Amino acid sequence: MSDIYGAISDSAANRVIQFLMTWRPSLFNYVAPSQYAHFDPPGHFVGVEERWLVCNRVNWPPGVDHNTFPRYTRAEPLKIKGVPGGGIPYCAQITQARIDFQPSNAVTLPAELSPPLAAQQFALWASVSAGIGCPSDALIDALLNMKFYTHGKFQPYYDAFDKLTLDVKSLICFSLELFVTGHLYTQVQPGTTNPPVTEIRIARDGVEVKDLLPAGLEEAVECYIQMVIRGYVLPQLVLALEPIVMNELGLNWTISPTLTAGLPNNPAVEQNELRVWLDVDIK
């Protein structure tokens, strides 16, 4: 028997996802805003204004003050070699998402991911909207002329202009469906602490972008997404079972959780649930 048992069903996890999409939309919406220079009436540069352009506008829930939480996370623009300016504005938005714990019943996997889910696997489906700005020829010409010709009004400020994300009024938008399969595993980090810390990690098994043509483009996009998942997303989704020191109420306790040994799978993804068994040592 374990000291602590916890489980969450995929239906409950999906309700949590919907809650977060409403109340923490910046976790799902990334924007490199369009920027443009602002001048005073005599024509002197006084600052920068921004346009947060998106393909799907995110609204605050009814009754929520606009300063309660951000709707979007600022992203770095796309830099195009040879084009003046700080980069190209874009957005990447997850508009819908759903998770499915084995066995398969909440996400219909494409044939490329060999459905149904294997034992101890989970699946994630997301509808993604993305948009990229396309600066006008007139804007590019103006920036090139500013770069190569002296102009008394603009010359002192060129360095500032060269850092601006290029100004566009709209984005070219498209949508795609993303499927990811994976499983959980544990990894012990020796030598960093005493005792060593056990980490619960996520492994990516497969990635599929549905029906993106031509096939070579689909393969390239999937490769890029897999690199983002492995290099950026998964390292942030690590649960370390570290000792917890409690000094509240005059207590001086150290709580050390460990995964219960002797189980075939711990943590386990089965019967539409994510399950974990823990033993706790209190000193």
For residue 79, what pLDDT is reported? 86
Q: Is the pLDDT of residue 150 over 50?
A: no
Tens of pLDDT, residues 173-221: 999 999 999 999 999 877 555 667 889 999 999 999 998 888 898 999 8
| pTM (whole model) above 0.75 | yes
Pairing of the two strands 253-259 and 244-246 = antiparallel
Q: Is the pLDDT of residue 62 over 90?
A: no
Reply yes or no: is the peptide bond before residue 267 cis, omega within 30 of 0.
yes
For residue 112, what pLDDT is reported? 94
Read off the pLDDT of each residue in 85-97 and give the average, rounded to a whole number: 92
Tens of pLDDT, residues 112-144: 999 999 999 999 999 999 999 998 888 777 666
For residue 146, what pLDDT is reported? 63
Structure tokens at 99: 């998770």
- Kindly calculate the radius of gyration of the chain based on its CA atoms and give it in whole angstroms: 25
For residue 194, what pLDDT is reported? 63
Q: Is the pLDDT of residue 29 over 90?
A: yes
Read off the pLDDT of each residue in 226-236 and give the average, rounded to a whole number: 91
**Could you give the percent of the chain with pLDDT greater than 70?**
89
- CA of 106: how far to CAs of 33, 182, 183, in Å? 35, 15, 16
- If one counts every other C-beta atom within 10 angstroms of the C-beta of residue 117, the result is 22
For residue 43, what pLDDT is reported? 76
Q: Is the pLDDT of residue 110 over 80?
A: yes
Residue 60: pLDDT band by 50, 70, 90 thresholds?
Answer: confident
For residue 151, what pLDDT is reported? 47
3-class DSSP state of 240: strand
- CA of 70: how far to CAs of 22, 90, 170, in Å? 11, 17, 21
Q: Is the pLDDT of residue 154 over 60?
A: no
Query: What's the CA gap between 255 and 101, in Å, rounded?
Result: 30
Chain centroid, CA 72 distance in Å: 11
**Could you give the percent of the chain with pLDDT greater than 90?**
55
